[in-house]
Amino acid sequence: MKTKYYQLTGEQALAELNSSANGLTDAEVKIRQEKYGPNVLESKKHTTLLQKFIAQFKDLMIVILMVAALVAMLAGEVSDALIIFLVVILNAVFGVFQEAKAENAIDALQEMTTPYSRVKRNGVVMQVKSDEIVLGDIVLLEAGDIVPADMRILESSSLKIEEAALTGESVPVEKDSSVLNEKEPPLGEQSNLCFMNTSVTYGTAEAVVFATGMQTQVGHIATMLDEVDNSVTPLQKNITHLSKVLTVLILIIAVVIFVFGVMTGRESVLDMLLTAISLAVAAIPEGLPAIVTITLALGTQTMAKRNALVRKLPAVETLGTTEIIASDKTGTLTQNKMTVEQLYTDHNLISADAFQVSPKKRLAQIMILANDSQETPDGLVGDPTETALIQYYLDRQMDVKQVQNDFLRTNSIPFDSERKMMSAIVSHAGQRYLMTKGAVDEILQRTTRIEDNGEIRPITQADKDKILNTNQELALEALRVLGFAYKPLTEEEEKREATSDNFENDLIFAGMIGMIDPQRPEVKDAVAEAKSAGIRPLMITGDHKDTARAIAIRLGIIQPDDESGVITGRDLDAMSDEELKQNVAKYSVYARVAPEHKVRIVKAWQAHGKIVAMTGDGVNDAPALKTADIGVGMGITGTEVSKNASDIVLADDNFATIILAVREGRKVFSNIQKAIQYLLSANLGEVLTLFMMTMLNWSIFAPVQILWINLVTDTFPAIALGIEKGEKDIMKKKPRGSRSNFLSNGVGSSIIYQGILEGVLTLGVYWIAINYPFHESSAQIHADALTMAYATLGVIQLFHAFNSKSIHGTIFSKETFNNKYFNIAVLASAVLLAMTIFVPAFNSTLHVTTLALEQWGIVLGAGALMIIIVEVVKFFQRKFIYKD
């Protein structure tokens, strides 16, 4: 059974670890280093670059591309095969680069540890490398130190430790050596323990090490990171599904054509094999992976301009499917800095912005003088609560330095967790004063007078009741409340030793303030927009339940009357995974949670088929960031661990940027869907044309003609569709969810009817050319017919590209020509297609003839019919099927 060191006294902890107050001997240290190993974080062995590269070729679409390249090579199109191979290799190289970056998560954890620590060994204090620390070592801590291991505090003086990166607690936690009798206190409430990689912000301590390396709390997180499988994104699922469908389609059609031709004896086995190969080339959208990658890459550029840096390309599209955003509070929804929000003085509660600051006001003097923070060229240094008091006046252009010079500090009584206050003794104009700040109830117990509008009078019970009631109101709003008092010292008091008993009594109450880690100003609107887009925002924090609830109400995550929407980590511990799954939809706010809780929450929502985005900035967020469908790290306040575990990093730490990224993600999916509709309907048209030509015993396209049409008419317009502007109502629609795919929302049926229509129109033009010839020569008639069919197939696809700019919207709108890159792409494709017919040098290479003006009229007429028929179908779709 694992020892619970927070339940042991210091002496018991030392005995349990076979150590003493004088520390370990050199011999004991050597034995323990051999037994437990170095105090470092480990990770699974990284795969080599070659292994990563080979793994990229396991994807089904990549396999299909390789087959397509081999088919093209067999068909004699070596250049096309080389292009396909180049696309495959570039995709593989990019995949290796992304995977190698992701493996930095554990390495970043190791880099966070402090290189040296002060320990007591052989009864002597010495400095050693942190990775040489062992169980039982006595470590000395002071402000500015990084805690090198998990330790039980033996002695402490005014100790405060910043644990935000581990627990999510927004302010430093007070620590001491008192025994805890609770059975399973949350990590953030284990006040006699300190944990690896947290930082000391105030005071000193002596502690004994009880866990090192992978056995520490941060080591536990490292283990979770290694155990978490990289989730498959919706984009990857969709591409895989599409690949399987296309594979089956290709095999069936190729086999049918080959068998039909051989059985009827129409062609030789070799000729029918080449025909089947041509069909396979027509069916495979070899440009699809490249188009998807380019569209995603363009999306990443747009998002980067809006401060969302994408580490993994599929994450762009995944954001568009997001249904749940589980956000860490501290530093993500809030600013991760304490800020004065309310001030109480002269029996009035005044907002921080409305308070008239003045160096002559006693409350201002105490806030500045009963303060240990220091101003440096890099800014204020010290306890975040104290630096916030100084920053409040600096922001209001008050000369803080002048106040400190006018009231010279001569002595102080440090903060103590038992009496919950601290005092400074200052001298001004020959008079010494005691300036005190601390917990309101403790201050009132030592107060006999009150300053009321410049007058000092005895404090009454009514005064105290009003102060305590106001204190409670502020606390219910999740504000951290501090009281302030002072008194002029008598000559007799000035001679006394500076202790609490000698000075902190008979105080004059000057006022109190309410502080909070405030929400980011833009977050409330971002939360509202997320809800209008059908996305449910959740808050996950290490803060207390009341604090979390108050912030959630301010942001609109929950309503004021929602009493059941908040749950604590302790409540989660009492639930099984199945119970959490059944009840997870009830909760929008999770308080006092540990890292494993965050992973459980994400998995509970995923069990309902939801796409979950998790935001965070601390070490404690990394496992959940990796488990979520999309992890969003913070670029400014985020640890390297959280960044490396994320798919997207916010350069401005702004929650609102997530919503901008969601909008971009939805646009990216919509554009990829348009490109897929265009590509597959065009390829289906090609397949159907070849299939029917074979069955009808007509002349068929040569492989080089199919490849040229694919290269010219497919690639450029499809890429341009990837940079279409987002539709105006894109954030008014509900998320697609995990069950949607690229063929949803009528895209699959549109591909089928539009592909059939392309094939029918192409075959119709061929039939017209055969039955109403422009020449008498049979050979010339068939050559013209095949050329007209070739031109028709290309022209129809270019006309159809404009149809594909909107899945259900009309082509007759001002948005039709709003994408200059698309217009250029279609024009360039048209020129390249026309060159093969108009330029004699290309005629023999692509087996085409020069067409007369009347023949071009028939070809263009077929293209116009494509637009007209699709527009009619879309009209009925909008009217009867896809009504918004």
Annotated catalytic residues are 328
Half-sphere exposure of 327 (CA within 13 A, CB side): 33
- The residue with tokens 């509008």 is 453
Contact 615, 325 (CB under 8 A): yes
Using only the alpha carbons of the chain, give its radius of gyration. Answer: 36
Burial of 471 (0-12, 13-18, 19+ CB in 10 A): buried
- The residue with tokens 């290796």 is 96
What phi and psi values does residue 508 have, to the nearest 5 degrees?
-105, 120
> Quick count: other Cβ atoms within 10 Å of Cβ 808?
17
Contact 646, 328 (CB under 8 A): no
Contact 822, 724 (CB under 8 A): yes
CA dist 422 → 177, 369, 474, 754, 760 (Å): 20, 11, 22, 78, 88
> What CA–CA distance (Å, rounded) separates 71 from 707?
11
- Look at residues 583, 564, 559, 560 and name the one whose alpha carbon lies nearest to residue 572: 583
Element (H, E) at 270: helix 269-283
- Look at residues 753, 782, 792, 781 and name the one whose alpha carbon lies nearest to residue 876: 753
The tokens for 337 are: 């800095």
Contacts made by residues 808-814, CB under 8 angstroms, sequence distance 24+ = 808/746, 808/874, 808/877, 808/878, 808/882, 809/874, 809/878, 810/871, 810/874, 810/875, 811/867, 811/871, 812/871
- Eight-class DSSP state of 313: T
| 3-state SS track over 122-171 | CCEEEEEEHHHCCCCCEEEEECCCECCCEEEEEEEEEEEEECHHHHCCCC
Element (H, E) at 365: helix 362-369
> What CA–CA distance (Å, rounded) separates 210 from 5?
8
Q: Is 591 helix (H, G, I), strand (E, B) or coil?
A: strand
The tokens for 385 are: 């609560």
- The residue with tokens 């109450």 is 509
CA dist 224 → 174, 551, 646 (Å): 28, 29, 15
> What CA–CA distance (Å, rounded) separates 863 from 856?
11
